[in-house]
A and B are shown apart, each in its own frame.
Chain A
Amino acid sequence: MSVTLNVNGTEQSVEVSPDTPLLWAIRDHVRLTGTKFGCGLAQCGACTLHVDGQPTRACVTPVSAVEGKTITTIEGIESSTAKAVQQAWTELEVAQCGYCQSGQIMSAVALLEQNRNPSDADIDAAMNGNICRCATYVRIRKAIKLAAEQLS
């Protein structure tokens, strides 16, 4: 069946079954591959994107649940918060393999949109669902703080 998705400000019609996870609709049909597949169980956070501004695990969100909602992927983030986060990530050279970093950045942006001055505990709480097997966590923490500084 045809499902209409609003992705990064554009309405897109995709031919998928309604139970298809948003992740695969976006990757295979909308053909935006920045949102990653890691686990399929909302355990790793690699597929994190924003639905109406809220960080959401696309791998367990069926397309039927997000019709009419605003979906933003790593390719579509443009806010000053997002730019500050990406800039901090680059400045501190956070990424190693980079595969999880789209999800990390989407979680970090959502955190800073809601909390301009997160503590270590706030960062841990917001980011604990995002696994990084390269264990770039030390730099993720620093980058979130750097971005917060830039935004203040």
Chain B
Amino acid sequence: MLRRKQRIDSATVRTSRRGFLKFAGGVGAGLTLMMNLPQAAAETAAAAASKEGDFMPNAFVRIGTDNRVTVFIKHLEMGQGTFTGLATLVAEELDAAWEQIDSEHAAADAGKYANLFWGTVQGTGSSTAIANAFMQMRLAGATARAMLVAAAASEWRVPVAEISVSQGVVSHAASGRQAPFGDLAEPATRQPVPPEDSLRLKTPQEFIYIGKQQQPRKDRGKTDGSAIFTQDIQLPDMLIAVVAHPPLFGARASGVDAAQARQVPGVVDVVQIESGVAVLANDTWSAKKGRDALKIHWDESSAFKGSSPEIMARYRELTQAPGLPARSDGDAASALAAGANVIEADFEFPYLAHATMEPMNCVVRVGDGECEIWNGDQIQTLDQGAAAQVLGIKPEQVRIHTLFAGGSFGRRANPHSDYVLEAVRIAKSRPGTAVKLVWLREDDTRAGYYRPAYAHKIRATLDENGMPEAWEHRIAGQSILKGTAFEGGMVKDGVDSTSVEGAVNLPYRIPNLRVELHTVEEGPPVQWWRSVGSTHTAFSTEVFIDRLARAAGQDPVAYRMQLLEGHPRHQGVLKLAAEKAGWGSELPAGRSLGVAVHESFNTYVAQVAEVSLQDDGGFRVERVVCAVDCGIAVNPDVIRAQMEGGIGYGLSPAMMSEISLDQGRVAQSNFHDYQVLRISQMPEIEVHIVPSAEAPTGVGEPGTPVIAPAVANALESATGQTLSRLPLKLA
């Protein structure tokens, strides 16, 4: 999401790489404008969260007299590692000891905690956390360090230049004096905040944490049950709300008989809201029993009643005709018309649910002119605005406590604030009482906000050397951004950038290349899903390029390498993955390799999948070798973890996950019919990180879209079958 904005900023970073390195080398220039005003931030943030004597030089760092360093993390920790990554950047420039650092979610306050790639919006997504905060967090740490040093110099009456800092201890070698940060916290509060251009950041050679050994993660409490998620919030007199949601998208409750529900012991109230009928109770089980006892008449007259086969047939029909242009190089239509051997393929992608382990939930307490929200919140600014609008208060009167999210994969970044507003509307009916909205798994699976269904058609011709001469790619599906706050910036000339990303930036050298889009109106609400457009475009483009290589009688890796001339980072990961996977060497009988390479969110990933055909006609993915280039690797182990997990997440739609509609009804409800990858289906995974001095980019999403085409290519080369639909099924 928000890719266009990100591209601009990342491109700025990329094209001014010399400036970036110069800055990293210690000359304050170029990127300093990213930093918040430290003084203003210090005033307010210090007031909010400090004990007397604590030192808070800016909105991101607090050093306590107890020698603890708290780093305020502006991005949601949903497993991707922001608590560790952003803390690493601060610790690096602060020269803190890793053990003294605690990470904590920052308040919802876009003035201080905006995503620097998103203007004035605080939020997490597009794999931007490390990329946008890289300099900001380092400067925050360097500012704190400079003030601690100044405080020591003043206390000890020695020159600043003679002071050194290491592992949370400030030292003056000549006099033998030293002090831990905590002892200097109080005096440091009296130091002026230094101008940014006086700060010297470390050179990469000086890094002690960035790219180094594994620092233990900072999102602790996940092995002893002590980590608190939204589901775990307990407040005095809190009520639990379980909601009867409409059976069809667009249906509304037209008659509610709540008599039996109110008889259920523990049930306190029944409230009709826009999105259904909520039962409030003293505990979750009573609320669920109350919900199940409701008798509701649903008005389905304006509800969506479509079915998946009919939807897909319609999309396929659309791809027969030209759509709105998203990219046009040369003249693909003429080249295709003139070409003798046109190779073509159709691809189909079903709706997908995010299926986070923690179903959507939210705790809200509505007060007088204020509202408090506890949520694994992914876009705080939008949720604040939406809640404020419903309650008739100001966004800054909506206070959000951001909690760990039990997975999100994009779901908790709902641009319509769907489940948050549902909770707000229920809580609004009981001012002063905290209400925890609990979605059961079935509510979560059937709520919509799916990865849209898509159909693709690609046609190509090859030149006399077997290289693609023309490539025409048509995509049909719903727009994710239409009707959201992001529409203005990211839908251009009718083309939603999230529908075509990964296709319009196809890196292969093809003289005549055209990408077209048909945007479809459909009933089910849709949303971004880990790696967004690349979830489908990486599949169609990478499976098709493999077919072209085979049609040309060429090796798929060598073929790609030729076509990727001028794209060294694509080539770099492809070459590395192929080498490490033993591409081209002999394999045991029944095994085959497939490869794919794809860039998303400015991170380059190649994967080689080794599959085996099973006696039952199915297949297993045995092993995956992954190479990733995400610029400077801030936390190598987190990067490896995100590649492993991203591959696992991508294997679910590759192998088994699918939401289907039957006359408007979602056919799936829980993990028995919306199946996802389990441990017995998980391949061995090997991750290799390309050494790089480029600006760092994200890793939460880019591992996901590459695995399905790699697996499909292995299966196609092993069986000769054409696999055009996810989840993959062999004939």
Contact = CB atoms under 8 A, between A and B. Distances in A.
A33 B234 contact: yes
B225 A100 contact: no
B226 A34 contact: yes
Q: Which of B81, B232, B646, B678 has most chain A Cβ within 10 Å?
A: B678
B269 interface: no
Interface in B590-616: none
A137 B651 CA distance: 12
B678 A131 contact: yes
Contacts of B214: 93
A148 interface: no
A32 to B, nearest CB: 7
Contacts of A24: 283-285
A135 B677 contact: yes
Nearest to B226: A34
Interface in A79-93: 86, 89-90, 93
A141 interface: yes
B387 interface: no
A105 B223 contact: yes
Given A24-B285, A90-B223, A98 B682 contact: no
B99 to A, nearest CB: 14
A34 B441 contact: no
Nearest to B222: A98
A56 interface: no
A101 B229 CA distance: 13
B651 to A, nearest CB: 7
Contacts of A95: 79, 217, 219, 222-223
A25 B227 CA distance: 19
A90 B641 contact: no
Contacts of B357: 36, 38, 44, 46, 97, 99-100, 131-134
Nearest to B669: A41
Q: Which of A32, A37, A140 has most chain B Cβ within 10 Å?
A: A37
Given A38-B441, A39-B670, A136-B641, A101 B648 contact: no
B682 A73 contact: no
Contacts of A55: none
B641 A28 contact: no
Nearest to A17: B265
A135 B645 contact: yes
A43 B673 CA distance: 10
Interface string B269-289: 000000000000001111000
A40 B222 contact: no
Contacts, number: 176
A19 to B, nearest CB: 8
A109 B405 CA distance: 25
B441 A133 contact: no
Interface string B67-98: 00000000000111100000000000000000
A36 B406 CA distance: 10
B415 interface: no
A44 B679 CA distance: 12
Interface residues of A, number: 58
Contact of A140 (B227, B358, B679): B679
B671 A43 contact: yes
B355 interface: yes
B241 to A, nearest CB: 13
A73 B229 CA distance: 17
A100 B271 CA distance: 32
A33 B441 contact: no
Nearest to B700: A96
A124 B284 CA distance: 32
B670 A41 contact: yes
A33 to B, nearest CB: 4
Contact of B79 (A20, A43, A98): A98
Interface in A113-152: 123-125, 127-141
B55 to A, nearest CB: 30
A135 to B, nearest CB: 2
A138 B216 CA distance: 18
Contacts of B228: 33
Contacts of B684: 138
Contacts of A129: 678
B9 to A, nearest CB: 27
A127 B679 contact: yes
Contact of B649 (A38, A44, A135): A135
Contacts of A46: 357
Contacts of A89: 223
Contact of A99 (B286, B358, B680, B685): B358
Contacts of B240: 28
Contacts of B222: 95, 98, 101
B284 A27 contact: yes
Q: Which of A24, A35, A39 has most chain B Cβ within 10 Å?
A: A39
8 contacts: A86-B224, A95-B217, A97-B406, A128-B679, A133-B355, A133-B407, A134-B648, A136-B645
Interface of A: 16-17, 20-21, 24-25, 27-29, 31-41, 43-44, 46, 73-75, 86, 89-90, 93-102, 105, 123-125, 127-141
Given A46-B357, A97-B78, A138-B682, 14 more contacts: A21-B285, A24-B284, A28-B240, A36-B406, A39-B441, A43-B672, A75-B224, A93-B217, A97-B404, A97-B408, A98-B221, A124-B680, A133-B357, A134-B645
